[in-house]
Structure 1
Amino acid sequence: METMTNAITIEKSKTSKIHDVDFENLSFGSTYTDHMLVCDYVDGAWQTPKIIPYQPITLEPSAKIFHYGQSIFEGMKAYKDEAGKAWLFRPLENHKRLNKSAERLAIPELPESFFIEGLTTLLQLEKDWIPETPGSSLYIRPFILASGTGFHASPADAYKFIIACAPSGSYFSGKVRVLIEEKYSRSANGGVGYAKAGGNYAGQFYPTQLAIEKGYNQVIWTDDNNHEYIEEAGAMNIFARINDTLITGPTSDRILDGITRKSILEIAKDEGIDTEVRNITVNEVVQAAKDGTLKEMFGAGTAAVISPIAGFGYKGVDYDLPELSESYATRLKKRITDIQYNRAEDKFGWRYEV
C-alpha cells in the first residue's frame, strides 16, 4: 500500500458555523461542515492531502471537468453512538469502488492511505458535526474532478480529490411511488453504469422529472435493449420480495455494485432469508403484483439505507403493494443501522472506528 511521505496539514477555520445549525431539523446534504480535505494530482503523482476551511474552489474555464465530464464520487456516512464514539461503515469498500470508477474514466487511482488517513483526519476534526439525533448522520462526499486544462478531447493531466461533509437527516420520508421506465435508459452494456460517474446521475434527471410530473417520486430503470428487466430504483439498487424470496439483479456494466446492496444480501443470508441474485423481468414483477405474491419492493443505497416502495406504475396502470406489519425492509434496515450506530454486534467486521 502506498503511504504518504508527509503529514496532512490542517488549516483550521477561524470561526465555526456549527452554532447556527439546527441539528434537530436537518435536511439532506444542504448544510456543510467547517472544513474539507483537498488533494491535488499534478506532475504524475498525488500530492499530500491538506485540510482547509470549507470554501469555493477555483478552476479555469478550460478545466476538462467542464467539457469532458471526468468526475466521480462516493457516498458515505459517519455515525455517532450513545457513548459519543464515531464510526464509519465499510469505508474500504468505498475506496475500492472509487478506484474502480477512476479506472473506467481514465482518472489516476487514489492510494488507500490517502483516502483512509485523509478521511479519518477530517472526521476527527469535524467530530462535533456528527449528529446525535436518531436517524441522522454525517453524510460524506469524496469526489475527484479533472482540473487540468485544455480543449483537446483527452484525459486531463491534473485532478482534485476533495472530501466535503454535510450533517443530514433522513433522505426520504413518506411512501415512495415509482414508475417503471419504458423509454429512457440509465446505462448500457460496455458503458459506465457500474461507475459512480457524475454524468450517470445528470442523465437520470430528465426522465425522473417526467415521472414526478405524472405523480411518482422516482423511476425504476430497465435494461437499455428491450426494457425487459428491472435494474435500479432511482439512484439505488432495487430488491423485490416474491413470496418469501428476496430477489435483486446481478451487478454488471449497467448496475452499480452497491455497498448497501451487498450488505443486505449478507445479512439476509444470516437471517435465514432466501435470496436470489438473478435477472428479474418487468412482467414477472407485474404478474406477482396482480396475483398477490409480490410482498414488497425497496431501494437500497447509502443515503436512504432502505427505502420501501409503496406502489409502482407501468403502462398506465398503478399497482399497490401491501403494507406489512413485519417486512423484510424494516427487519434488514434495523440490522444494518444497529451495526452502523454501534447498537449491536458487528459479526461481519464492517464497523470502522474513527
Structure 2
Amino acid sequence: MEERAGLQPADPLVATPASPASMPLGPQTVSLRNLGRAGGMRGGGAALSRAKVVRGMQIGHGNAAVARAAAALAREGDDRARKIAGFNAAKAKGNWGDAAEWLNGLNDEDIQRQLAQVNKNQLRQLDAGAMRQIPSFAGRVHDPILAKLGKAPGSVFGKLNVLAGSPQSGNPYALEMQFNFAPDADIVRATAIAYVQTVRLVHTGTNDDADWQKESKARQTDDHTAVDRSTGGQSGYAGYQTDAQPGPNATEWNPSAPDGFATYTDRPSASVPSTDWSFETAVVGKGGADEGVIYSSCAWGFMVDENFVLTPKAPKISDKPSGTFGAAVDKWNQQAAGPVDQRNAPNQEKLPQVR
C-alpha cells in the first residue's frame, strides 16, 4: 500500500436499434421482411414480383397491416440515414466524441461499413472520442477499432508499461511495482498526467476488512475498496504531496515535454498474515480538456499466507478500471468535503470525477 513500507460519468447512452433477426416474428415483422425483400428486387419482372409479394401480404395480413409495416420500414430507414449523416457530419468537423455516439447507434454491420471508410489516424481519434465521451458504452465502437489497429487493451491514449519487482516474503513482506506511461501526444488533451490508485485489503477466506488506518476505513466502498493514500496524504494522486507537487515516487507528464513519461513506483509492505491485496492503478488526465479521463489502468496485487509467504497476482492492463474504482474516488471526494477531523489530512484535496 502506498507509502506504507515499514508500517503497515452522466455518460450518454445511445440505444442500439434491434436488428431484423432479433425482432419478434409477428405479422408486422413478417410484413417488414417481405416488404424489404420486395423493395430490393431488381431486373426484369421485378415489378410483377414485387406486386405479387405485396398482394400475398395483403391476403395474409390485410391492407392495414401492410401499411403499418411499410411505415415502420420507412421510419427505420430514415433513422439509419439520420445516424449515418450525423456520424459523417461530426467526423468532418473533428467532433470525435459525437461521431462515436452516432456510430454507436447503428447496428454492427453498419458500424463496420462506416469504419471501412475511415483512415488510420481517424480511427485513433474516433477511438479516443468514444473512450472520452461514452466510456461505459464504447465497446461496440472501440472493439472493432482495436481489431483494425491491432492494438492491445489500454493503448488508446498511449502505452502503459508495468514492471513487477521480485516478491519479498517474510515479516515484513513487500512487493515493488513500477508504472511508466508514454502518452500519444497527438491524442491526449490533458495539461498533465498522473496516477490514482485504489486498494482493497481483506483477510483471506473471510473477505473481512484488514485495513488498519481509520481514515482509509472511513472512505471505503461497500466491498472495502478505497483510494490508496496513507494517513496524512493531502493529495489523492498517487505519490503526490499536494496536487501541484509530485513526491519522490512520482513523475508528472505535461505537454511541454511531449516525449516524456508519467511514472509512479509503489512498494506495499506489511506484517499482517493471511491477507489478499488488490490494487487498481489508473493513468488519469490531470487538468485540461481530458481532466478525469482514464487513459489506461492496471489491476494487480498479491496474496499472503499464514506464514508470510507472498504470491503476486499477474498484472492486467485494461482500458478502464472496475466500476468500484470510480465509487472509491467519489468516497475520497466526500471525505475531502466532510468534517476536518475525519479527513485523511486537514487540507485533503478533491480528485476530478473520473470518466
- Relative to total residues, which structure has the larger strand share, 1 or 2? 1
Q: Give me the TM-score of the superposition, normalised by structure 1.
A: 0.23
Q: Give me the TM-score of the superposition, normalised by structure 2.
A: 0.23
- Relative to total residues, which structure has the larger helix share, 1 or 2? 2
Larger Rg: 1 or 2? 2
